[in-house]
A and B are shown apart, each in its own frame.
Chain A
Amino acid sequence: MIVRKLCTYEQLVGAALCVAYVMTLVWTASDLAMSRDESFYAHAAKDYGAWITELLTNPKSALNREHIDRAWDYNWEHPAWMKLAFASSWLVHQKLGIYSSESLAFRFPGMLAAGLLLWLIYAWGVVTIGRMGALVAALVFALMPRVFYHSHLAAFDVPIAFFVTLTAYAYWRTLSDRRWAVVTGLTFGLALATKHNSWMLPGIFVIHYLWVRRQYALADRLDRPTLSWLPSMLILGPVILIATWPWVWHETFRRLLAYVQFHLRHVHYTYEYLGTSYFEPPLPMSAPFLMTLFTVSLTFLVLALIGVFYRRSALALPSKTQRGDPTDTKADVLWLGCLVAPFLAIALPSSPIFGGTKHWITAYPFLALFAGWGFVAAVEGAKGGLFAERRWPAWAFAGLCLAPGLVQTAHSHPFALSHYTPIAGGVPGAADLGMNRQFWGFTTGSLAGFIAETLPDGGTVWTCDTTWGAWRMMQADGRLPNDIRPARSMTEADLVLVHHEPHFNEVDFQAWMAFDDVQPVHVLTYDGVPLISVYENKRLGRRLE
């Protein structure tokens, strides 16, 4: 199968999607305080940035093992590629001041990955589904509330979704054009160097490859797909992982093993699901599926299901192939593999409890591509009726399909991790069902104004799930005055924040005891559901009017 090149118009549409999305992310980023994990990665990026500066000015010293270990010891549990990107962006900002805030300097590489991912979904969609289906697919991905949130962050989740999709695309191109084998190895290396979600890619590709090979063999085709992607991935992948990660330049095997073991024996996050706070496995197998149902527009999910059904013949087992049958490189089978594998990995009873939808976010580009097919199926089916020989009904239909996602995404900001779709009853419905309310402590950003007003002469705040790094970033961004400091002890704080998740009830009750007071002076709510309670230390004599 020869994959056609995108024409200029199509490339421009892809680029426009990318630029528009990145601009939207930049425009809305200041509404979001840094999350817990971002604050760790920003810390790491500063360390790495200092090392890069040393490398450029005094390479001999920088390459000294002691210097490498000192700079790269922090956050060793994640490989370096995106943190290097955050560090580079921050260094550029330090020199040129190109971003409006320090947090944006760290976040921009992640935003760029999100924009490029839309471009990639569109590009892959164009050569498989067609222009309109591809556009719908890209926008379906863009208009998932939690994808939109994660796209803002200096974190790895959207970047790994980008690199997984890019590697899958390169692998798929390799099957019909062996020149792509090197690209597959390179992109797999970057995926490995971004996050461990990439570990499942070789397995998916091997299954897909055997599927395609079997099909070609039964069709008696002589031009079998190349296997060159495999050695490329196996050689270039680890090389890039190690080359971009100075931490493993010394004691390579021991440190890589520690990295792998860290994730295989990951701590369990406490996660509320259907009224139970799970703190040890197994989380119900339904969790990733129900969470997707409750957090992605139902219209998108219905389109994706229709898409899978519409492509059922392309998904048929290779054993049904007969001699002389037409063959192809089975993009649909690959997409289905990349869609299903992350869900299964999380659903396994033995998997550590992660909970958040970001842990299977690498599946969503492929869900979006099937939604593109679903859109095409609906339009094709209606060609004899309303949609016959007219283009506007199809465009209007596309608008209708995308509207729920647009409305939900707009409404989810800046509380996307607390957002639930109408099928869950919205945010209050999800609270009734006992679904996870939030995590990472970033919602404190929505209280910055209240805190600054409440403590006009400065003071201290016990920040609960918000890290001190995230707090300092709000100050660096000018969202909080520098004289309002995080408090080490609850009893000594002027204000105490409590992020509402059931396992944080303990902290709520500590606040009652700390101030002998059960009355929050303020409750931050989202659609009427409490996210943060603020308690005031009246013993210190500060009384809110």
Chain B
Amino acid sequence: MNKALRRKIIITAAAWAVALLIFFPIFWMFLTGFKTEVEAIAIPPSLFFTPTLENYVAVRERADYFKFFWNSIYVSVGSTVLALVIAVPCSYAMAFFVGKRTKDTLVWMLSTKALPAVGVLVPIYLIFRDVGLLDVTFGLMIVYTLVNLPIVVWMLFSFFKEVPREVLEAGRMDGAQPKDELYHLLLPLSLPGIASTSLLAIILSWNEAFWSLNLTAANAAPLTAFIASFSSPEGLFWAKLSAASTMAIAPILVFGWMSQRQLVRGLTFGAVK
């Protein structure tokens, strides 16, 4: 018994040491956001200091921070809603009306993820330039919708598959049309699955940093691109960078922690559940 407890204490120490080491850069960023710029670059690093909110104030005033924040929300939530609207009927059809080609369709959708963004950067850039979607949030939203569509279809498909067929059968017996079946039975029953699918899509769009860097500028830039503008700054900026970064990642950290388990399923296309 005593031996088991000692083992548990050793493992606790080891695991917490590793966890804190991995988390350290985020913790350090969070801390630096509350320092003055001079304290932020101090050597030896200052651990005890009087916290200040001046960086949060400065970031808000100087860089029109909330415009970029709003762009991020608009683009990631908008693309997620669009992807759901397109994917729900498709996944419903594939999960409940299985045809000869259903499996091939799913595999093909997955394989479109293998098209590297950089391979099609040139045509997308030129098309966007010609139709006036460069540096427009709606353009980025369309791209994210398409990029996430295969994952959303897959996740919804796998959640729909888990809804007990008997319930739908019963509804059908009672004369429910496919539309009623979808809206009044399937969607409410698979709400948790739809929620975690949405969370994953929002997380992926929020953090996406290839298309956002290449397709947007001052107008439509989401937070990923805004933060990148700190890569060639003037003067002392670490504390402000930290404050801006903390605000940029906080909502997504919460979402990520909420949906860790479903995330595994979504990111591995159901290969690991």
Chains A and B form a bound pair: no
